[in-house]
Amino acid sequence: MAKLSIDLKAGKVKKQSNMIVGIDLGTTHSLVAYIKDGTPLAVKGRQHKNTLVPSIVHFDEYNKIVVGDKAREKLISHPERTIYSVKRLMGKSFNDIRGIKEHLGYEIIDEDEERLVKVKVGNRFYTPVELSSEILKELKERMEKELDAVVSKAVITVPAYFNDTQRQATRDAGKLAGLDVLRIVNEPTAASLAYGVGLDKELEETVAVYDLGGGTFDISILEIRDGIFEVLSTHGDTFLGGDDFDRAIMEYWIKEYELENKGRNFISALRLLAEEAKKSFSTSSHFKGGIAGDTFELEKSVFEGLVEPIVERTLDSCKKALADAELKTDDINKVILVGGSTRTDLVKQQVAAFFGQPVYDDLNPDEVVALGAAVQADVLAGNQKDVLLLDVTPLSLGIETVGGLMDVIIPRNSKVPSRAGRNYTTSVDGQTNLKVSVFQGERDLVKDNRKLGEFILKGIPPMPAGIPKIVIHFIIDADGILKVKAMEERSGVRAEVEIRSQYGISEEEMALMLLESLKNAASDMKAKALLEAKIEAKTILLSADKFMKLNVAILTGEEMLKTRSLTDALAKTVEGDDKDAIENAMHELNTYTQPLAHRAMDHTISSAMKGKKI
C-alpha cells in the first residue's frame, strides 16, 4: 500500500510547508507543536507569550468568531455566547450528555435522544465539530505565522478512552479547519513519545501516564513492544481536575473571611485569585493577593491540606487501572506526568510515593502531549529512520446511506489488516432488498468519491422500516484486499463481495482526491448538514402527522391549528436551503409538541389502566 506524498501546490498564494504538526486539542487548553532543528517545540502566540490557547470560542453580536484568550474574557460577561469544554461534547448524543448539560453556561439543544448534540448560539446551531474546528483554525494560523507558510498536515491527540465516533468527530474537525489529519494519537501515547518511549524498538516497557488537567483526570497504563503502543487499561474521572483545587481554595477563603453573601462578579474574581494562589505554590510557600482593596492570604501547607483528598481520589483510580491491567506498581517502568495540575508539588510527591519511583516531569506537563504529537508527526514524515511505519489504508472506505451520504466504515490511515463493522436498517416498510454500494474517498457525498463496487442483499423478510438489523462488515487483509459482507441478523440472510480495485488507483489520483476533499471540506460539510437536517425534518413531519391523526380527541382545536401551522412552516423550510431555518423550525415544533405528546401518553396510559381488569 502506498505512502502518500501529497502535493498541495494548488493553494498557490502562499508557500506550502510539508511540515506535519502535532496538535493537542484539550478540554481547557489546546496547542500546536513541531520539530525544529530536531527538537519538538510548542508554538507561542502573537505577542510571543503563551503556548497555550484556551479552548474557548466566543461569538460576538455579529456572529464573528473569537478564539482563545480573547474569548475567555467573555466567559463572565457573555456566557450564552461563549463556548468552553467543547471536547466534552465531541461525538456525543443527547443521551450521552445527560449529566453534563447542567455544568455548561451555554444552550445545548435537546430534542432527539440519539442524535449528535448541537450548541445553540443566538438563532444558529453549531456542531461540536464546527466549534472544535475554530480552535484548530486558530492553531493552524499560529503555526503558519511561525513558519511563514501554509500548513495542511497534522496529527491530533485524543484521550485513550475516546470511541470511534469521538475520534471520527476529531478527524472531521481537522478537515473542516483545512487540515489533513494523518493520524489520531492517544494522549498518553503522545506523552510517552515526548519522553522518547517507544522510539527504541529493542526496549519493552510498561508506563503509567498520569494526566491531571483543568477539569479531567486520566490514568493510562501502556505497554510498548516493537514500537507498538497498547493501552492495557485506563481509568479516570471526567469531572476532577485543577478546577477542584481552585474551588477548594475559594471555599476555604469564603469561610475564613466570611464572604458568604458577595455577588457573582466577586465570586468570579475570587476564583481567578484562587487559581493564581495555586499556581504561585510552584515557586513560593506563601500567597498574598487582593480584590478591590481586600487582601487574601494562604499558606502552601494549608493549600496542601485542602487538596489532599482530591489527590487521594486520583490515586484510587490508579489502583483500579493497575488492577485492570493485572499489574503491580513494581511492573511499571516509567511514570509520566501530564497536565497543568501536575505542577502542584503535592501531586508529584503523592504520585511518586504511590508508584514507589521518581516521576518523569522534565518536560512542561501542559505541553508534553503536543510535543509528543510532533514526534509522532516526525515519524510519519519518515524523518526517524529506525521507527517502523505500519501499512495503512490510503483513503477511507465506506458505504452509501440515505440521501447519498458517505458513511465511513474504515477511516483512512487505519492499520492493515483491519476489520470493522457497523449496524444499519431499512428506511422503507416491507423492504426486502438492500443495495450496498461501496465507496472510497474523503468527501461527504458519495457522488464525489470513487465507487468500488456494489451488491444486493436479497430476501430480507418484509418488516416495518427500522426493524431489520443489518450488519455490514469491512475486512481488509494484509494484502490490502477488501471484502465486504452484509447480513440481516434476524433472518440470517447474507451476501458478500470481494473488491480488489484499491490497486486500480494511482498515487497521483489518491493525492488529487485528498486535495479535493480538503479544498471542499467546508462546503461538503455544509451540504451534508443540510441534507441531514432535511432527512430529519421529513421524519419529524411524518411523525407529527401521525401524532395529530392519532390524537384528534385529546388535542384542542387551537392546539391542532398551532401544530399544523408549525408543521407547515417546517415543510416550507425543507423546500429551501437554509439549514438553520430548518433547525429552528424543528426546534419550535418540538418545543411546542413535547408537552402535548406527554399529555397524549398520560392519556393512553390512564385509559389502558382503566381498561385493565383486576
Which active-site residues does the annotation give? Answer: 24, 87, 187, 211
CA dihedral 238, 239, 242, 243 (to 10 degrees): 150
Q: How far is CA 468 from the centre of its chain?
A: 30
Closest to ligand ADP by CB, 344 or 563? 344
| Binding-residue pattern over the window 7 to 36 for Mg ion, x denoting contact by CB under 5 A | -------------------x----------
Helix, strand or coil for residue 39?
A: strand
Per the CB < 8 A criterion, the answer to whether 284 and 275 are in contact is no
β-bridge partners, 225: 228
Per the CB < 8 A criterion, the answer to whether 221 and 206 are in contact is yes
Q: Which does 172 bind (CB under 5 to 8 A by kind): ligand ADP, Mg ion, none?
A: none
β-bridge partners, 125: 120
CB of 98 to Mg ion, least distance (A): 24
Q: Which does 74 bind (CB under 5 to 8 A by kind): ligand ADP, Mg ion, none?
A: none
Q: Number of helices (H) and strands (E), helices first, in the chain?
A: 14, 26
Q: Which does 28 bind (CB under 5 to 8 A by kind): ligand ADP, Mg ion, none?
A: ligand ADP
CB of 297 to ligand ADP, least distance (A): 18
Q: Is 345 exposed, middle or buried (0-12, 13-18, 19+ CB in 10 A)?
A: middle
CB of 332 to ligand ADP, least distance (A): 22
Q: Which does 394 bind (CB under 5 to 8 A by kind): Mg ion, ligand ADP, none?
A: none
Closest Cα partner for 20 from 318, 289, 379? 379
CA distance 134 to 68: 10
CB of 229 to ligand ADP, least distance (A): 19
Closest to Mg ion by CB, 26 or 174? 26
Q: Which does 127 bind (CB under 5 to 8 A by kind): ligand ADP, Mg ion, none?
A: none
Helix, strand or coil for residue 220?
A: strand
Closest to Mg ion by CB, 178 or 213? 213
CA distance 79 to 75: 5
Closest to Mg ion by CB, 81 or 87? 87
User: Residues interacting with ligand ADP, by CB under 6 A?
Assistant: 26-29, 213-216, 241-243, 275, 278-279, 282, 339-341, 343-344, 366
Per the CB < 8 A criterion, the answer to whether 272 and 292 are in contact is no
Per the CB < 8 A criterion, the answer to whether 270 and 259 are in contact is yes
CB of 270 to ligand ADP, least distance (A): 15
CA distance 112 to 95: 9
CB of 255 to ligand ADP, least distance (A): 22
Q: Which does 343 bind (CB under 5 to 8 A by kind): ligand ADP, Mg ion, none?
A: ligand ADP
Closest to Mg ion by CB, 222 or 397? 222
Closest to ligand ADP by CB, 154 or 460? 154
CA distance 289 to 296: 5
- Between residue 197 and residue 216, which ones bind Mg ion under the rule CB under 5 A? 213
Q: Is 54 in the site for Mg ion (CB under 5 A)?
A: no
Interacting residue ranges for Mg ion, rule: CB under 5 A: 26, 213
